[in-house]
Amino acid sequence: MQQFESKFGSLSQQAVRGMNLIPANTANIDTDTVSALISFCSEDMPSSATFHQEVKLWQRMWQNKIAEDRLTTLSATLSDSSACPLVYPNITKILHLILITSVTACGVERANSSLRFVKSSLRSTMGEDIFNALMLLYVHKNISLDIDNIVTMYARKHPRRMLLLNPLGDESYAVQSTSLENEK
C-alpha cells in the first residue's frame, strides 16, 4: 500500500476518483468520491456548495441514456453539447483539471535511460559517490552551474604546487598547500 501511495500521489488518486465523472462511469460515483473531490478541488470549483446536486443531476442525465450512447473519454465528454458548462460548471472544471493532470512520472524512466550514457565500458569501475554525482548532473542538465565558483572550490580543496588555470576565463588560482609554504 505504501508503494502504491508513493508511486501515485494524492493528485493521481483524485484524478482516478474524478474519472468516475465520465458518463460511462457515473454508476460508480458514491458519497465518498464526491466528498473527496470537494475537499481536493474546492478552491478550483466555481461553486463547491452545489456540487452534490450537480453530481446527482449529472448521474440522472447519463443513466437515462442507452449504455452505448454514454461517452467514455474526457475529451468527448467535454466536447459534448449535453455537458454544458453553464449547467455543470463544477463538473466541467474537474474534467478540465483531470485532462491536464499528468498520467505518469517520467523521472524514473529518464534516470534509467540515462544510465547507458553515464555508465560506459570506460567507467565500469567508478565508485558509488562519483556515479551518483554523474547521474544527477546528467539528469538535471538544465541547472546552470557557476564554473568559476566550482574551480575556486576545487583549487582550495586540492592545493597543488603549480598554478591552476581556469580554461574558460583569464583568472588563475594560485593556491599552494601549507606544507609547501612551511618548507620555504
Grid cell listed for 148: 568559476
Tell me the pLDDT tens digit for each residue of 119-165.
777 767 778 888 888 888 887 788 888 888 887 888 788 776 556 56
DSSP single-letter state for residue 143: S
**What's the one-letter identity of residue 54?**
E
Report the C-alpha gap between 43 and 39 in whole angstroms: 9
Tell me the pLDDT tens digit for each residue of 43-84.
888 888 888 889 898 888 888 887 777 888 888 888 887 777
Domain boundaries defined on the chain = 2-100, 106-143, 145-184
CB 159 within 8 A of CB 182: no
Q: 120 to each of 26, 89, 152, 170, 183, how far by Cα in Å?
A: 52, 54, 29, 34, 43
Q: With a threshold of 0.85, does the pTM exceed it?
A: no
